[in-house]
Structure 1
């Protein structure tokens, strides 16, 4: 997986020290109710599309960009479904450490047929919510649940862990 240039620049200054990273996830729903998932090249797990924001990028724009880049699907962002942070530090093979703040967006498909559109994915496809493929990334079921709850009741607003 390529490391974005701005992260590479940061890493020259902080080495492998922990970085706090803003990220987005997109739960994309087809008109028939199926969900878009991609199979990640880095860990071979099926997951909702996710990625980190570029400097200055609006989060909803990043979600739509990531969906198009990774799966070839044009996504229309409906709303913010959840805000969460990872409890664990991720340690990459090169020793880099990161923790992620995730903004999960509910999206609708606005066109395209899914395929592995970049080197971050090995496959992409539509799946019924009750027939998700395995192996599935641990956070995916939670992100889907938050998005489908928001879809059923947008007035409830985004999920977040309340103190």
Structure 2
């Protein structure tokens, strides 16, 4: 996957240290099907994901990423989930963690096709006949299909999390 230029510049200063990034997932649904791409970096089928560029709005990122990867123009209809993914390590050793905002999107133009080097294949799949998806994508797809209000990951339970109100006395 091509790394955005702003990340390459940051990496010159921080090396492989953890980097907090904002990302989006587009869950593109149409007539009982979902649009997926088979990623060129790992060969896995996936929802459409992307990193927000500095100054870019989250919904704008979803539209851009879907168009760049599949040739399909979408309209984001609602936020389906907001949560922090577990920390990860890229193949080159870069440590990352994402705040992910997922959108349910509706296609409005274009034909699904491989449109850049981030995808090996692009296809519509019936929701009852999906290829194997990573656990995170299964979760995001289920939240887009089942929930009408956004899902937020629950805060940790137990212990003191500093959530007491103090009167200052």
Q: Same fold (TM over 0.5)?
A: yes
Query: Counterpart of 1:22 in 2: which secondary structure?
Result: strand
Distance 1:5 1:46 in 2: 26
Distance 1:137 1:116 in 2: 21
Q: Distance in 1 between matches of 2:28 and 2:8?
A: 30
Question: Which of 134, 146, 151 is the equivalent residue of 1:159?
Answer: 151
Q: Distance in 2 between matches of 1:141 and 1:94?
A: 26
Deviation of the 1:138 alpha carbon: 2.4
**After superposition, what is the alpha-carbon deviation per residue over 1:103-137, rounded to whole angstroms, capped at 9, x for unaligned?**
00000111211111111111111111111113x22
- List gaps (5 residues or longer) in structure 1: none
- TM-score with structure 1 setting the length: 0.91
Shift of 1:101: 0.9
* Residue number in structure 2 paired with 1:17: 17
SS, match of residue 110 in structure 1:
strand
Deviation track 1:19-69 (CA, whole Å, cap 9, x = no partner) reads: 011000000011x12100011000111011001000000000000110000
Partner of 1:47: 46
Distance in 2, Cα, partners of 1:114 & 1:33: 16
| Structure 1 SS opposite 2:22 | strand
Rg: which structure is higher?
2
SS of the equivalent of 2:72 reads: coil
Instruction: Tell me the residue number matched to 1:141.
Output: 138
Q: TM-score, normalised by structure 2?
A: 0.88
CA distances 1:74-94 after superposition (whole Å, capped 9, x unpaired):
11110100001112x221122
Cα distance in 2 for residues equivalent to 1:57 and 1:39 = 25
Stretches of structure 2 that go unaligned for 5 or more consecutive residues are: 156-169
Q: Name the one with the larger helix percent.
A: 1
